[in-house]
Copies of this chain bind each other. A is one copy, B any other.
Amino acid sequence: MSAETQIREVALRAREASYELALATRGVKDAALHAMADQLLARAPEVLAANAEDVARAEADGAPANIVDRLRLTEERLSGMAQGLRDVAALADPVGEVVRGSTLANGLELRQVRVPFGVVGMIYEARPNVTADAAGICLKSGNAALLRGSSSARSSNAAIAEVLRDAVASGGLPADAVQLVPGDTHDSVKALMRARGLVDVLIPRGGAGLIRSVVEESTVPVIETGVGNVHVYVDRAADLDKALRLVLNSKTQRTSVCNSAESLLVHADVAHEFLPRVIEALQEEDVTIHGDTEFCHFDGVVAATDEDYATEYLALEISAAVVPDLEAAIAHIRRWSSGHTEAIVTEDLAAARRFTAAVDAAAVMVNASTRFTDGGEFGFGAEIGISTQKLHARGPMGLQEMTSTKYVVTGDGQVRE
């Protein structure tokens, strides 16, 4: 069977399931989510056995230790996945929310109501916990999920999906609400990306390469996630103690995530005082600084190239430059930003207003760590990813962002003259 035919079959089953899911009440969906959590724990041995296959294969293939670690499931990680599903159950149901409404002059009642997308495709890398997270968020938002994890996690994903499907069915919802995309080759990913009309939206989660290829090849509407070339700008009017704390937290609290800082800009008026302090503090945390000529006056700073300013390191590295003024900082950010998160440190209201207005990003921080751009931190309760595009959703995507809307118009025979 060709990859297109396979995708068509699973997508049509997902479509059928989506009709039931769209009409399921919150009670039924929450019961299914708890059943999913219960079953993940009850059937931990089979999931862990499947995971052991993936881990053994990765080790045999010589995968680096951090990759093997991301792949590995434990009782504790399974508990975390189960808790994640229960957390989603505890959230309000976005489906049916009336976004706006009015009564028109002719008496027609207009309501714009949240509805599920229908069929959501997810393409993601490495970590098998995403399989449960994505299935839970899709189910709660009334969407059927077509999941395509990385082939390195295929045994784990298959075991998790089987457990989740059984749990969904035990709750009276169609098992096909959760499906893995069949096939292990790039052909099946490609077929998924071309399944316009069968799949309503595609969400890639992973590295920049994966996301770029989905965005460029897909005819299905895509929500682009995650790449963060994140700047912290230390203004002339910054409180330098705060600035130091914010730069360190933004860069080093966790380096492998999209909301960590990758570039530091410092106003020239405070460079003399701030550079020695920030360079010392970063170097104490083993951060390599790729700096401009001002920064290169200090020991251990290496000269930055344009490539450095364009790079999302996701590691203990940072690019850095001194800028003559706020406008130069804004211009630099406009040139290099990936539109994820940008921060200013300043006590000057006018500078904060100018920066937040002029910088175009999913999140703009004033005197706050860039690490706060996160669905959990924002209070959304669950997050499917962080959108860096401007269409539909921008920034952390919670349950509401996993819905579309429809207009329901009710009358008693109104016609247009």
Contacts and interface: CB of A to CB of B under 8 A. Distances in A.
Interface residues of A, number: 67
Interface string A213-256: 00110010111000000000000000100100110110001000
B352 A416 contact: no
Q: Is the interface of A mostly helix, strand, loop or mixed?
A: mixed
Interface in A375-389: 377-379, 389
B390 A407 contact: no
B406 A364 contact: yes
A201 B390 contact: yes
Q: From A369, A377, A405, A408, name the one whose CB has the most chain B CB atoms within 10 angstroms.
A: A408
A209 interface: no
Interface string A196-224: 10001100000000000001100101110
Nearest to A245: B415
A356 interface: yes
A195 interface: no
A65 interface: no
Interface stretch (A38-46, A110-118, A180-188): A110-118
B221 A391 contact: yes
A409 B360 contact: no
A410 interface: yes
Contacts of A253: 415-416
Nearest to A365: B409
B108 A372 contact: yes
A250 to B, nearest CB: 8
A358 B405 contact: no
A390 B405 CA distance: 7
Contacts of A371: 415-416
Given A19-B358, A390-B201, A366 B410 contact: yes
Q: What is the oligomeric copy number? A: 2
Interface string A78-94: 00000000000000000
A325 to B, nearest CB: 16
Contact of A117 (B358, B369, B390, B405): B390
A404 B392 CA distance: 7
Contacts of A102: 379
Contact of A360 (B110, B115, B361, B367): B115
B118 A363 contact: no
A366 B411 contact: yes
A394 interface: yes
Given A102-B379, A404-B391, A367 B411 contact: yes
Given A23-B357, A391-B391, A409 B108 contact: no
Given A360-B406, A364-B407, 5 more contacts: A221-B389, A361-B406, A368-B409, A368-B410, A394-B406
Interface of A: 19, 22-23, 102, 104, 108, 110, 112, 115, 117-118, 196, 200-201, 215-216, 219, 221-223, 239, 242, 245-246, 248-249, 253, 334, 352, 356-358, 360-369, 371-373, 377-379, 389-392, 394-395, 404-416
21 contacts: A22-B358, A110-B379, A117-B390, A196-B215, A201-B391, A216-B219, A246-B415, A248-B415, A249-B416, A361-B406, A363-B408, A364-B406, A367-B412, A367-B413, A368-B410, A368-B413, A368-B414, A369-B416, A372-B409, A392-B392, A394-B405
